Structure 1
């Protein structure tokens, strides 16, 4: 990502170019991303190809002012952070499903980010309802966040944990928990964006993927709540837990909801595609 592309991305986020790749700057960029760039799977239901290449992702997220799911959002955010001077490692994760069953390999993409002043951080702007800020990667206690209480924990009795030397090889799988419930299992081995192509294909085509069952578009609101359009149901939740729902009656009202709440301009309503 060159300087011109990074500048355009920062404008998309409403952010200034950070003077240094610090943890405070990372926190601000992380939160702005969650507020400005929605988590969405609309390409799956619009018949659009999902291509995990930086130029194509820039065209979609920055040029077309769209969102995406984890591979797109975290993949592109990682490229931005690297352009801003952060040391970024792409990590693969498997998401916990019903009954505690782990999902497919390359089920999720998250970011390990090293700052100049605050060690290593787990950044994730592509999971939907998750932490509003990056999590301290080496911390094993509870971490309070506007999105809930999070913890990064060793995944099992054979997990050696993260070694004290920040430059040593990380070998142990780690579980990320949200309010005491396991969310996903990280494999702390460096990956590249191309490793996730099979996961993106599975999630956009498999009948077992929840992404093919309904269009969804969601972002964090300025007050710390969340607004989500799932199918044709628009749900707004405030930071203190108050919830409102409504169902737009016409296609025009659905398209207006995409424009007004997510900044996404579409010429037709995404519809579940039968495979």
Structure 2
């Protein structure tokens, strides 16, 4: 990413060029990103190719003023942070589902970010509802955030009763991220590159078992740190204190206007859930 691209990205999220790679700057960029760039899976249902390449991500997130899912949002954010002087490591994660089971390899992409003061932080602008601010990567106690109470813990310590998985977690140094006491995802601490996540993005874009192929979602943090989400034709507004209101949009015009006015996304047609191929 060159300087002009970085400036355009900063304008996209409403931020000024920072003086240096500090935690204060990281916190501001993180929350501004969550407010400006929606978490969305519209490309899957519009028949658009998802390309995990820096220039392609910038074209989508900055040029087309779109959002994306974790690989795209955290991939683009990593490029911006690196250009601004932060030390950024891409981490592969597996999201916890029903029965405390982890998902596929390369299920999620998150960022380990080093700042000028020597701190290390877990940044994630690509998980939908999550922490508003970066989490201290090395802190093992509770971390309070507007999004909940978070903890980053050694995975092996959570699974002492499951010897086989506990040994694997301990060997590789995996960490689990918990929100309000419940596991959200497991991260490997070894560094990855963007190309490593192509298979995960492909699976989530094509598999009938992926929740991304089963429904539409477009969501972002609001200016008062609540959340607004459009899922299909259902518009949900969640206040900072957790109160929710739901509105059913009746016409295509209302849906397109909501994408435009609430998320800054211009589209000519309303996306429809595409049936994933079950033959494979």
SS in 1 for 2:191: strand
In 2: Cα distance, 1:13 partner to 1:272 partner: 29
SS in 2 for 1:35: helix
Identify the residue that residue 257 of structure 2 maps to in structure 1.
256
Query: How far apart are residue 118 of structure 1 and its match?
Result: 4.7
Q: Does 1:266 align with 2:267?
A: yes
Greater per-residue helix proportion: 2
In 1: Cα distance, 2:262 partner to 2:208 partner: 29
Structure 1 segments of 4+ aligned residues over 2 angstroms from their partners:
157-162
Identify the residue that residue 60 of structure 1 maps to in structure 2.
60
Identify the residue that residue 126 of structure 1 maps to in structure 2.
126
In 1: Cα distance, 2:202 partner to 2:169 partner: 32
1:114-193 to 2 correspondence within 5 Å? 114-157=114-157, 158=166, 171-193=172-194
In 2: Cα distance, 1:232 partner to 1:248 partner: 5
1:80-119 to 2 correspondence within 5 Å? 80-119=80-119
Q: Does 1:79 align with 2:72?
A: no
In 2: Cα distance, 1:184 partner to 1:42 partner: 23
In 1: Cα distance, 2:242 partner to 2:95 partner: 25
Asked if the contact 2:45/2:271 (under 8 Å) is kept, the reply is yes
- TM-score normalised by length of structure 1: 0.95
How many residues were matched structurally? 268
Asked if the contact 2:219/2:228 (under 8 Å) is kept, the reply is yes
In 1: Cα distance, 2:102 partner to 2:77 partner: 25
- Which has the higher mean CA deviation after the structures are superposed, 170-179 or 106-115? 170-179
Identify the residue that residue 230 of structure 2 maps to in structure 1.
229
Unmatched segments (≥5 aa) in structure 1: 163-169
Q: Does 1:10 align with 2:18?
A: no
- TM-score normalised by length of structure 2: 0.93
- The CA deviation string for residues 165-205 of structure 1, in whole angstroms up to 9 with x for no partner, is xxxxx940000000000000000000000000000000000
Cα distance change of structure 1 residues 160 and 203 upon mapping to structure 2, 3 Å threshold: closer
SS in 2 for 1:48: coil
SS in 2 for 1:68: coil
In 2: Cα distance, 1:231 partner to 1:211 partner: 12
- Which has the higher mean CA deviation after the structures are superposed, 110-119 or 120-129? 110-119
Identify the residue that residue 23 of structure 2 maps to in structure 1.
23
What RMSD over aligned residues (CA atoms) do the two structures have, in Å?
Answer: 1.5
Asked if the contact 1:131/1:146 (under 8 Å) is kept, the reply is yes
Identify the residue that residue 244 of structure 2 maps to in structure 1.
243
Asked if the contact 2:156/2:169 (under 8 Å) is kept, the reply is no
Unmatched segments (≥5 aa) in structure 2: 158-165
Asked if the contact 2:91/2:111 (under 8 Å) is kept, the reply is yes
SS in 2 for 1:191: coil
- Which has the higher mean CA deviation after the structures are superposed, 196-205 or 238-247? 238-247
SS in 1 for 2:190: strand
- The CA deviation string for residues 2-59 of structure 1, in whole angstroms up to 9 with x for no partner, is 0000000000010011101000000000000000000000000100000000111111
In 2: Cα distance, 1:101 partner to 1:241 partner: 27
